[in-house]
């Protein structure tokens, strides 16, 4: 009887610990991570793609758009953080702002763009090496299609932002800041 009681107590304690660990890694809500792509960037004869960002004001104030540009080999090429006031609109050029300063020196023609909404720090947007995901961002991108370079525009897709992804993005952007000597830092385009 004592063994059974001890086994039940240990099982309950283990279940509580596992539940607490799961709760600590629950992903942030929607509108914290937007994902998009670009193609035919920096290609002769192709128009420039754009990414447009806005802060709908749901966070109650200013936010930062932490932006991560990933190459086709799943390696971070550039990162940065751009200020957005409520109802502000920021426009970024794929060729000029997102792909012109790659860490490796290899200018991208295709890749993925990840945008994490995070609060400002002292009213500014530092390099995204510490993220505090906050639901408060919308984005759209133009896409330059393959052979005829026709242009389409779509809303960026919501994606689940896991704790592991936050850690990975922060770590890779920190590595760019430490080792890039200014390379790998994107620019924020125009507007707000």
Give the pair of three-digit tokens for residue 182: 């200014």
| Contact by Cβ (8 Å): 80, 98 | no
Pairing between strand 89-93 and 50-54?
antiparallel
Query: What pLDDT was estimated at residue 15?
Result: 37
- Complete DSSP assignment for 119-156: E-BTTB---SSS----S--EEEEEEE-TTT--EEEEEP
Residues present in the chain in total: 192
Number of Cβ atoms within 10 Å of the Cβ of 80: 25
pLDDT digits (tens, 9 = 90+) for 106-125: 999 999 999 999 999 999 99
Q: What are phi and psi of 141, to 5 degrees?
A: -140, 145
For CA atoms 46, 81, 163, 177, the dihedral sign is positive
Q: Using CA atoms, how far apart are residues 68 and 112, in angstroms rounded to an integer?
A: 8
Helix boundaries (H) for 43-93: none
Q: Is 36 helix (H, G, I), strand (E, B) or coil?
A: strand
pLDDT digits (tens, 9 = 90+) for 30-67: 779 999 999 999 999 999 999 999 999 999 999 999 99
**Confidence band, pLDDT 50/70/90 cuts, at residue 77:** very high
Query: What pLDDT was estimated at residue 25?
Result: 56
**Confidence band, pLDDT 50/70/90 cuts, at residue 28:** low
116 strand-pairing partners: 33, 66
Q: Is 174 helix (H, G, I), strand (E, B) or coil?
A: helix
Domain 28-181 class, CATH top level: mainly beta
Give the pair of three-digit tokens for residue 104: 């490796």
| Contact by Cβ (8 Å): 167, 151 | no
Comparing CA positions, the residue from 145, 112, 139, 141 lying closest to residue 37 is 112
Delimit the domains of the chain by residue range. Answer: 28-181
pLDDT digits (tens, 9 = 90+) for 132-189: 999 999 999 999 998 789 999 999 999 999 999 999 999 999 999 999 999 999 999 9
């Amino acid at each position: 009887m004592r063994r059974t009681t001890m086994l039940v107590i240990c099982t309950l304690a283990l279940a509580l610990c596992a539940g607490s660990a799961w709760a600590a890694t629950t992903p942030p809500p929607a509108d914290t991570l937007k994902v998009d792509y670009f193609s035919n960037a920096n290609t002769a004869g192709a128009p420039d793609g754009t990414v447009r960002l806005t802060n709908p004001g749901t966070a109650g104030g200013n936010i930062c758009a932490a932006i991560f540009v990933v190459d086709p080999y799943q390696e971070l090429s550039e990162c940065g953080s751009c200020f957005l006031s409520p109802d502000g609109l920021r426009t970024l050029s794929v060729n000029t702002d997102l792909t012109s300063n790659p860490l490796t020196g290899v200018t991208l023609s295709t890749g993925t763009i990840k945008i994490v909404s995070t609060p400002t720090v002292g009213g500014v947007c530092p390099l995204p090496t510490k993220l505090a995901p906050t639901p408060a961002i919308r984005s759209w991108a133009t896409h330059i299609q393959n052979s005829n370079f026709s242009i389409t525009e779509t809303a960026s897709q919501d994606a689940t932002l896991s704790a592991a992804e936050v850690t990975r993005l922060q770590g890779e952007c920190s590595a760019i800041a430490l080792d890039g000597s200014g390379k790998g830092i994107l620019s924020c385009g125009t507007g707000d």
